[in-house]
Amino acid sequence: MGVGIKTFAGTPLTALLCDQLGIAMSYIEERVQTVFINYRAVDRLDAIIIQPSMIIALSAAMPGLAGATLRKGGMLAGFREGISHDPKSSTPVDGEEETIITLKLFNQVAEDLTPHLLEVGIWVQGRILQEALLHSELVAEIEEDSIQWNAKHLTIAQFKEILWPADWILLQVTSR
Amino acid sequence: MDKILRINMSGTKGPTIKTEPLGDYTGLGGRAMTSTIVAKEVSPTCHALSAENKLVISPGILSGTAAAMSGRISVGCKSPLTGGIKESNSGGQPSQMLARLGYAAIILEGKPGNDHLYKVVINKDGATIAPADELKMLGNYDVVEKMKAAHGEKIACISIGPAGEMKMGAASIAFTDMELRPTRHAGRGGVGAVMGAKGVKVIVVDDAGTQMRQGKNPEKFKEANKAFVAGLRQHPVTGKGMAAYGTNVLTNVINEAGGYPTRNFKTGQFEGAAKIGGEALAKLENERGGEGSATNGCHRGCVVRCSGTFYDKNGQYVTKQPEYETVWAHGGHCGIDDLDAIAQMDRLEDDFGLDTIEMGVTLGVAMDAGLAKFGDAKAAIKLIKEVGQGTPLGRILGSGAAVTGKVFGVERVPVVKGQAMPAYDPRAVKGIGVTYATSTMGADHTAGYAVTANVLGVGGTVNALKPEGQVELSRNLQVATAAVDATGMCIFVTFATLDIPEAFQALLDLMESCTGQPMTAEKFIDFGKRILKLEREFNIAAGFTKSHDRLPEYFKKESLTPHKVVFDVKDQELDQVFNF
């Protein structure tokens, strides 16, 4: 499903990942070996310009012939020519249009980057966040009187009953 | 490995056993051995279940040595599923143990003139064969338990389940793992049916009193193995990713690429993929715990450890960690997003002795025929049980996807040469489609895994971005894979050899120092070409033509979402794959 990242259309992908989200370029180059933009396999990250509502997926190197085929800039890239991302489709965007793109992290990359991204902050649609929180192990760990909702204290029971807005919500983990 | 065990099941006084020197087969192992023997000794036009067919089981050239990852074993015969030559390989313990006993191959030939079922026991004193009718129609798990009781826990078993006895086209041969469970299978092509036709239920291997095989040049061998292991550990796939998530890590990524065949190849994305992917599977296994839960090897000497063990919510053992293809075949292909149900199906099929790819694909075809609804795990489990029980419906399903499609009038049947396609839609990744279409084995995802001419620096370079590049790449991959399949090396070593030239050189050095024969990249490729040519010639003599090197027509007509792509590699290009 992925999470939302608020950014500006026209931003280079590498700038989003490195400058805005604070991911080291060496990590992107070495660990992130499989990248998709709108379900299409990417060969050159530096050629990608953020478009409105783009879907970006990051993964480590994958096994098998298919895994090798999907790797960025790999020798077998020709095998999946029909589903490769065309850099020419990343057109320059006029002005600075704010957009929320979807970022999906898989496997080792998710394990490595999730804590950091939660600190930076991610955007999640309200109902989805509510569903995820109420079905996670976190609910059992919430202490009574620790919940504030729009500056009002809520009990756990009230928290579970409240209807969250459907719109995007910024989720940021500020301490552990 | 200096001898061949030949068991003739046709003897008038019962089966006869002969131990022979290697003769013309000297220097061969694995797929090179099985395909050479089948090509030389089996009539291509014989019926696959007849006395004229032979079942050949051969450890890889490096098996039984200290070489890491060298525990693969090949099974060869004329396939009852494809009608062509077959090499199906497996992990597990028997390869290393047979090699240490000195056997480069076991050949089962002829056919018993009675209804007896036999047990073969191989140890340092030789081999024996005796009737074992008490094992009739037992599942692989029960067979192994009985062998443990009779021969102790330090054995390994090669066995068939009821599917093999019923000579079904989807029948596999089981090889026991490190925990002495029948979880590793030579699955593809119905090799279990050929073992069933020979009347052999189980081969017990006991290597007590033997020692690890030594290379001809032990010092160079040791150095090469060290470099090889370093290459595997250094590589991002074999070093870490595979151990953490297993092969099922591919689910989410192939799904993201839009190449995950869903509900019998109707679309390229499955909405339930995240629930059954490697990440979810590893999380579940880690939560449930248990020995070898999320990370385990399938044989001793494995440094990648891409497997694991699946326990139910009560901590009871169910099966080994289901692999990507198994999860896909019973998951997205059937619209099922329940890992417990998928593990249960894997267990049933291992026990009945069935290829999980063939059976999973068959279930999807059966769902298209209306025998069950997509997503109905209970119905799918019931259908698998019908196969194990050998009901009339079960016999049809156990014959594989092609037969099931024909019987129930389904047009969308994803097979090539009668063998079900694995877990990658050829419309999205067309290079894999080229391999599916032209492989000597039928649709096979392992036929083109390995190193390319570009990496080896031989045979010129390939421009993969040109249309003809796909054909050239597929050819090179098939050639190199045939050679790797002869070594006994797990196909996953190719990730490291693909990316790290030193690791590939170490593999060549391992071969050279083990056999004492010079081995260069050119020789390695020539070796692979010889194997493929033998296989191709066998298939042509069996009646295969260019028309068999094609994907089903609907892949050219029905576009795959989300990318709206069809398989459009021209027939003339496919016909170029074997121009070498």
For residue B253, the one-letter residue type is V
With 80 as the cut, is the pLDDT of residue B518 above it? yes
Residues of chain B numbered 283-342 and touching chain A (CB < 8 Å)? 306, 324
Task: Calculate ∠ Cα A135-B243-B57, nearest 5°.
Answer: 125
pLDDT at residue B450 in the model: 42
Which candidate in A107, A112, A128 is best for mutational testing of the B interface (most B CBs within 10 A)?
A: A107
Pick the more confident residue, B448 or A20.
A20
State the average pLDDT for chain B: 92
Residues of chain B with CATH 1.10.599.10: 430-574
CB contacts of B257 in chain A (<8 Å) are 36, 39-41, 70, 80, 83
Q: Does residue A173 form part of some domain?
A: no
With 90 as the cut, is the pLDDT of residue B142 above it? yes
Inspect the interface and report whether the beta carbons of A64 and B247 lie closer than 8 Å. Answer: yes
CA B7 to CA B9: how far, in whole Å?
A: 6
Residues 6+ apart with CB under 8 A from B125: none
Inspect the interface and report whether the beta carbons of A80 and B259 lie closer than 8 Å. Answer: yes
pLDDT at residue B473 in the model: 78
CA B323 to CA B343: how far, in whole Å?
A: 10
B476 to chain A: closest CA residue: A76
Question: Domain boundary residue among A120, A140, A155?
Answer: A120
pLDDT at residue B467 in the model: 53
Same domain, A150 and A93: no
Same domain, A131 and A59: no
- Residue B127: CB atoms within 10 Å: 20
Sequence-ordered alpha helix ranges (H) in chain A? 13-14, 25-30, 64-70, 107-120, 126-134, 138-141, 156-161
B306 to chain A: closest CA residue: A63
Coil vs helix vs strand at B477: helix
Q: In this predicted model, what pLDDT tens digit does every residue of B69-78 receive, in sequence order?
A: 899 999 999 9
Coil vs helix vs strand at A155: coil
Distance of CA B99 to the CA centre of its chain: 19
Same domain, A44 and A72: yes
Inspect the interface and report whether the beta carbons of A62 and B449 lie closer than 8 Å. Answer: no
Q: Are B99 and B64 in contact (CB under 8 A)?
A: yes
DSSP B195-245: HHHTTEEEEEE--TT--PPPPSSHHHHHHHHHHHHHHHHHSHIIIIIHHHH
Q: Are B48 and B77 in contact (CB under 8 A)?
A: yes
B258 to chain A: closest CA residue: A39
pLDDT at residue B448 in the model: 58
Would you call B250 an interface residue with chain A, using a CB distance cutoff of 8 Å?
yes
Q: Are B57 and B106 in contact (CB under 8 A)?
A: yes
Number of independent structural domains in chain A? 2
With 60 as the cut, is the pLDDT of residue B442 above it? yes
Coil vs helix vs strand at A75: coil
Residues facing residue B58 across a β-bridge: B74
Same domain, A52 and A12: yes
Residues 6+ apart with CB under 8 A from B485: B30, B31, B32, B60, B72, B74, B87, B89, B491, B531
Sheet holding B118-123, edge to edge: B126-131, B118-123, B200-205, B156-159, B173-175, B184-186
Residue B309 phi, psi (nearest 5): -135, 135
- The pLDDT-based confidence of B263 (bands split at 50, 70, 90) is very high
The ipTM is 0.89
With 50 as the cut, is the pLDDT of residue B385 above it? yes
For residue B126, the number of C-alpha atoms closer than 13 Å in the C-beta half-sphere is: 8
Q: Does residue A171 form part of some domain?
A: no
Inspect the interface and report whether the beta carbons of A70 and B253 lie closer than 8 Å. Answer: yes
Residues of chain B with CATH 1.10.569.10: 247-420
Q: In this predicted model, what pLDDT tens digit does every residue of B408-424 receive, in sequence order?
A: 999 999 999 999 999 99
Burial class (CB in 10 A: 0-12, 13-18, 19+), B210: middle
Distance of CA B558 to the CA centre of its chain: 29
Find the mean pLDDT for residues B364-375.
Answer: 98
- The pLDDT-based confidence of A176 (bands split at 50, 70, 90) is low
Q: Does residue A14 form part of some domain?
A: yes
> How big is chain A, counted in residues?
176
For residue B42, the one-letter residue type is V
Nearest to B447 by CA among B547, B536, B360: B536
- The pLDDT-based confidence of B455 (bands split at 50, 70, 90) is very low
> Quick one: what percent of chain A has pLDDT higher than 70?
96
Residues of chain B numbered 415-454 and touching chain A (CB < 8 Å)? 424, 427-432, 435, 445, 448-449, 452, 454
Would you call A128 an interface residue with chain B, using a CB distance cutoff of 8 Å?
no
Q: Does residue A176 form part of some domain?
A: no
> What tokens were used for B349?
């099929």
B241 to chain A: closest CA residue: A108
- The pLDDT-based confidence of B105 (bands split at 50, 70, 90) is very high
Nearest to A17 by CA among A56, A53, A52: A56
Q: Are B375 and B186 in contact (CB under 8 A)?
A: no
pLDDT at residue B498 in the model: 67
Burial class (CB in 10 A: 0-12, 13-18, 19+), B472: buried
- The pLDDT-based confidence of B453 (bands split at 50, 70, 90) is very low
End-to-end CA distance of chain A: 25
Find the mean pLDDT for residues B378-387.
Answer: 98
Would you call B242 an interface residue with chain A, using a CB distance cutoff of 8 Å?
yes
Residue B461 phi, psi (nearest 5): -100, 160
Q: In this predicted model, what pLDDT tens digit does every residue of A118-151 receive, in sequence order?
A: 999 999 999 988 888 888 777 777 887 788 888 8
CATH fold of B430-574, please? Answer: 1.10.599
Distance of CA B173 to the CA centre of its chain: 10
Q: Does residue A12 form part of some domain?
A: yes
Residue B75 phi, psi (nearest 5): -125, 130
Q: Which of A10-14, A63-67, B281-285, B436-440 has the lowest mean pLDDT?
A: A63-67
- Residue B326: CB atoms within 10 Å: 27
Residues of chain B with CATH 3.60.9.10: 3-205
CATH number among 3.40.50.2300, 1.10.569.10, 3.40.50.300, 3.40.50.10800, domain B247-420: 1.10.569.10
Find the mean pLDDT for residues A58-85.
Answer: 86
With 60 as the cut, is the pLDDT of residue B528 above it? yes
Cis? peptide before B131, omega within 30° of 0: no
Same domain, A29 and A99: yes
- The pLDDT-based confidence of A156 (bands split at 50, 70, 90) is confident
Same domain, A74 and A99: yes
B3-205 in CATH: which number?
A: 3.60.9.10
Q: How far off is chain A from B509, nearest CA to CA, in Å?
A: 24
Q: Does residue A83 form part of some domain?
A: yes
> Quick one: what percent of chain B has pLDDT higher than 70?
96
Pick the more confident residue, B502 or B61.
B61
With 50 as the cut, is the pLDDT of residue B513 above it? yes
Range of the domain at A136: 126-166
Q: Please state at what angle helix B339-352 crosses helix B356-368, rounded to 10 degrees.
A: 120
> How big is chain B, counted in residues?
580
Cross-chain CB nearest to B464 (options A77, A82, A83): A77
Inspect the interface and report whether the beta carbons of B259 and A68 lie closer than 8 Å. Answer: no
CA B569 to CA B550: how far, in whole Å?
A: 10
pLDDT at residue B459 in the model: 38
pLDDT at residue A88 in the model: 80
Same domain, A78 and A132: no
Q: Are B472 and A88 in contact (CB under 8 A)?
A: no
> What tokens were used for B132?
């074992």
With 90 as the cut, is the pLDDT of residue B259 above it? yes
> What tokens were used for A172?
């940021």
Cis? peptide before B94, omega within 30° of 0: no
Same domain, A7 and A23: yes
With 60 as the cut, is the pLDDT of residue B397 above it? yes
Same domain, A130 and A74: no
